[in-house]
Chain A
Amino acid sequence: MTPELKGFVLLSLIKIVVVFSVMMVGVMMVIWMERRVSAWKQDRLGPNRVGPQGLLQSVADGIKNFAKEDVIPEQANKLLFVVAPALSFIPAMLTFAVIPVAAPLPVDFDFTVPILGQFVHSGPMPMMIADLPIGMLFIVAVGSLSVYGIVLAGWSSANKYSLLGGLRASAQMVSYEVALGFSFVGVLMLAGNVTLPEIVAHQQDSVWFVFALTLGFILFFVSNLAETNRLPFDLPETESELVTGFHTEYSSMKFAMFFMAEYTHIITGSALVATLFLGGWDIPFTSWDSGDPTVLKSLLTLAFFAMKTLFFIYVFIWIRWTLPRFRFDQLMQLGWKFMLPVLLAYILILGATVLVLDSIGWSSGLPYGAALFVMNAVLVYIVFFILDNNRLLLGRTHRKVGT
């Protein structure tokens, strides 16, 4: 191995360890946040006993879960039953590998360790684990894997409720995978690249995609909700019908693993929305952050990225504690009959707009963004207000009956 390669491997290992630990602590904090916020929304206080403001509640719960008896049903497929929680957890973690969390950090070192030899690294280090050239495609590929964990958990439990939960999960996630895939086609179209650093850079040059692709942003967020199995799309769990769906038979730390997977999904989902549509680590109203990399720049952009992610995590929680659950046919109708046609039309309109803007010589900058924003505002109005009055969103409950 050359010294440069060794330096790269060393840095990658450090990044993996750091990201993993931050994610684990983050998951605990998000669980605490969800419990506190949900309590506040119901005029309660929520857990505030363990540690300052109850911050260590998740630690206590973790210890409790480790101490609990681990029950495996006799009829269960033992191997898959044990593997399933990990299978649902790993894809959620993997996605984070390609998300840039801050501006590149300048790292220069050149040292020699007795047995291992020389380690060299110079120049800016991208603040992500893997700067993959396939970026978004990797996220879609890995994201679809997370359905396996849930389906296998449901199937291997040998329980009818679990099986139904698993089936629902697969149907739902496969359907919304389509909507999710189409809803960021707009991002790829504008950025002209699939790597996330390029997408972020393009947003710094023109406008955040939340303005240039408002409709795409809304639909992406909705399908993201469905992908993470959060309310109002948490049909795999539905206590009222399926006990708790796919994890009915799970206990102890395996059960906690599903929870960790869900909250990891929330964090990565929020980070993804922030990267694709809110400019990632971009600090608004300044181009200072995209200049030469310094340590201060990295830290500040990291803080901004964390704030954006935290905002979307909050929105996830906010939606969960407001909206009731969809019926399953409503869910499928929303996915296939509303989101898919709207997205296809959107891609067509967006492509035409970009073509027109290109032909008059606008390809970035403020007027370009403003034109796209106006186009999006009109589309959002059409989709959510004109169509909503005819209750397209509600499906077939509304029929005009002649009096």
Chain B
Amino acid sequence: MAITVVTVRRPEDDVSYLRATLKGMALTFGHLFRKKVTMQYPEQKSDDTWEISTRWRGTHRMLTDEQGRAKCVACGLCPQVCPANCIKLVPGEDEEGNRYPLIYEIDEFRCVFCGYCQEVCPEEAIHVGVHYENAEYERERFVYDLERLCAQTHPVSTLWDPSDPKGE
């Protein structure tokens, strides 16, 4: 079987090493004066080309009612749906028969931030938040209890809406 040699005839500009070099040098020189894309993080958290998405799923937040109590009715759906098994819920009941959470803890280390808890919640109580600065000095601090979840103030995630996939 004969070996076929394919000779590619490229235009002169692509072939010449010298011209390619000069072109490249001109390009890199031009980049010196372009607008820089670096965002200087601690001082600058968003700019006109980028800001954090409203669909961001960060650390949780529990919404509260007018009296400042957690909206949660301790139905038990969120620990049920949680794939990482990071929600600990002990339900309680007051004398009027209203259910409320005695203990509600989320281990943010175990959490995979899927957002199922927000999706499944019938009372729109537990939410994942648009928030990413979670540093702590101790590991224990990453288990958020009910009080801490209620005290969060950052905006909550809008999650992904199948009827509006591009978020318009």
Q: In the complex, are the beta carbons of A403 and B16 less than 8 A apart? A: no
Dominant SS among interface residues on chain A: loop
Pair A44/B37 contact, Cβ less than 8 Å? yes
Stretch from A135-143, A179-187, A305-313, A315-323 contacting the other chain: A315-323
> Which residues of the other chain, B, contact A43 by a CB distance below 8 angstroms?
31, 34-38
Task: Give complex CA distance A393, B16 in Å.
Answer: 9
Q: Are A391 and B25 in contact (CB-based, < 8 A)?
A: no
Would you call A42 an interface residue if the criterion is a C-beta within 8 Å of the partner chain's C-beta atoms? Answer: yes
Smallest beta-carbon distance B136→chain A, Å: 24
Interface of B is mostly: helix
- Minimal beta-carbon separation of A380 from chain B (angstroms): 11
Residue B21 CB within 8 A of the other chain: yes
Q: How large is the interface on A (under 10, 10 to 19, 20 to 34, 35 or more residues)?
A: 20 to 34
Question: A residues within 8 A CB of B31?
Answer: 40-43
A389 to B19, CA, bound (A): 10
- Interface pair B36/A44, CB less than 8 Å apart: yes
Chain B residues near A391 (CB, 8 Å)? 15-17
Is A295 at the interface (CB under 8 A from chain B)?
no
Q: How far is the CB of B145 from chain A (nearest CB, A)?
A: 37
Chain B interface residue count: which class?
Answer: 20 to 34
Q: Are A384 and B18 in contact (CB under 8 A)?
A: yes
Q: Which chain A residues lie closer than 8 Å to B21 at the CB level?
A: 322-323
Q: How far is the CB of B13 from chain A (nearest CB, A)?
A: 11
- Indicate whether A388 reaches chain B with its CB closer than 8 angstroms: yes
Query: Bound complex: CA of A384 vs CA of B24, how far in Å?
Result: 17
B3 within 8 A of A: no
Assuming the contacts A44-B38, A45-B38, asked whether A37 and B32 have C-beta atoms less than 8 A apart, the reply is: yes
Q: Is B134 on the interface with A (CB-CB < 8 A)?
A: no
Distance in Å: Cβ of A325 to nearest Cβ of chain B: 13
* Interface presence of A398 (CB below 8 A): yes
B108 to chain A, nearest CB (A): 30
Q: Looking at the complex, which one of A41, A388, A398, A403 makes contact with B32 (CB distance below 8 Å)?
A: A41
A-B pairs with the 10 shortest C-beta distances?
A45-B38, A322-B28, A393-B17, A322-B24, A401-B7, A41-B28, A388-B18, A40-B32, A41-B31, A43-B37
13 residue pairs of the A-B complex, CB under 8 angstroms, read: A40-B32, A40-B36, A41-B28, A41-B31, A42-B31, A318-B25, A318-B28, A384-B18, A388-B18, A388-B19, A391-B15, A401-B5, A403-B7
